[in-house]
Structure formats: C-alpha cells, structure tokens
Chain A
Amino acid sequence: MPAPYSATDLAVRRTILDTFVRGGVPTRLSVMQALGLEYAEVTAAYTRLAAGHVIVPDPDSGEVWMAMPFSAVPTEFRVVVGEHSVWANCAWDAFGVAAALDADVAFVTRCPASNAPVRAGVRKGVAFADAGAVAHVPVPASRWWDDIGYT
C-alpha cells in the first residue's frame, strides 16, 4: 500500500488541486500563503507528494507541473468547464476533469497523425467524441513513470 500522507501533505495537495479547479496555477508561494506554512514545509510536502506520483514538479523550477488530471502549462487538451477552462495532460486526464469535478466538459485536441481537430467531452454525464476518434496510449503502464512528461 502507498505510504499515508501527513495532514500537511494532504492540505498542500488539496490547495494545489483547488487552485487548478478555479482556473489558476499554484505556486509554492501561493500554497504557503493559503495554508500559513513555511517554504521548507511546502517544499517537503512537494517532495513526498512527488515521490507518490501525486504531483509532478517542474524539474527546473520545482513548481507544480502536473497534479493529475491538471497541468500548469498549456497542452493539447484545453478543457472547457462551464465558464472557464483548465489544461489537462492527455485525453485520459481531459475526461478525468469531468470525473473529478462531476461536471460536463468539452475539449478540442488534434489528431497527432493528421493534425485534424478532434472534439470530445462529457455531456449530461455521458462521454462523447467525434466519430472514429481513437485514443492511443503507446507507452506500457510499466514504463509510464520513466518519463511522465512523454507518457
């Protein structure tokens, strides 16, 4: 079983996710301010959450790059939720935004082979996609975390 997280770890995780839900991008500073924590406490929580694949820090800045299903940087998966939008990491995560928020979503991405737009989402709780659209997961599950950015 995965190691349990401390109350601080879980609060940091939740603050990160809530920021993404609001359409923002969390930073260590914003997490510190939201929770009244010291920099070292937030950094330590990031390290533990990253070890458990709960978040993915940017290797250069140390800020959150991904907190699945959300991405801090623009991707091919801009997911519209109501009046705002968030970035997801992949098609799986784009559908995951709908599941996490229990909301309808819509996204338009591109076919990597033809570059043609592909529309998909969840409407009234039911997933939809353009006819013939197929999602590929080329990396085997055993290797996903070798390079999660590529996966």
Chain B
Amino acid sequence: MSQLAALARRWYRDRLSADWQPRGREASQALFTAVGLTGAHWTLPG
C-alpha cells in the first residue's frame, strides 16, 4: 500500500495544476521506476 501511495503522490500531484499538460510515456514510466515498480508487469505500451 505504501508503494502504491507513493506512486499516486507522484502520479496525481499536478492533476489540478493550472498549467497541467499530459505526461508522456517516458515520464510516466519514470514514475513507476522511482517507486521501485519495474519489470515487464510495469512496462507501459510503446
């Protein structure tokens, strides 16, 4: 749960920002890696 919460904190913290822009695949993948979610299961489609 703590790992998921850490991912959610990174994933959603800009969701209501006035200057929000969509996040690209590489940036999203980096968020998984930052919280230790790696490997095929956590690899986003190219």
Which A residues are closer than 8 A to B by beta carbons?
A: 1-2, 4-5, 10, 13, 17, 21, 52, 54, 68-69, 91-102, 120, 122, 127, 129, 133-135, 137, 140-142, 145
Contact = CB atoms under 8 A, between A and B. Distances in A.
A141 B22 CA distance: 18
Interface in B4-46: 4-13, 15-16, 20-24, 32, 40-45
Interface residues on B, range: 20 to 34
Interface of B: 1-2, 4-13, 15-16, 20-24, 32, 40-45
Nearest to B8: A95
A133 B3 CA distance: 12
A91 to B, nearest CB: 6
Given A91-B1, A141-B32, A141-B42, A17 B22 contact: no
Contacts of A54: 22
A32 B8 CA distance: 31
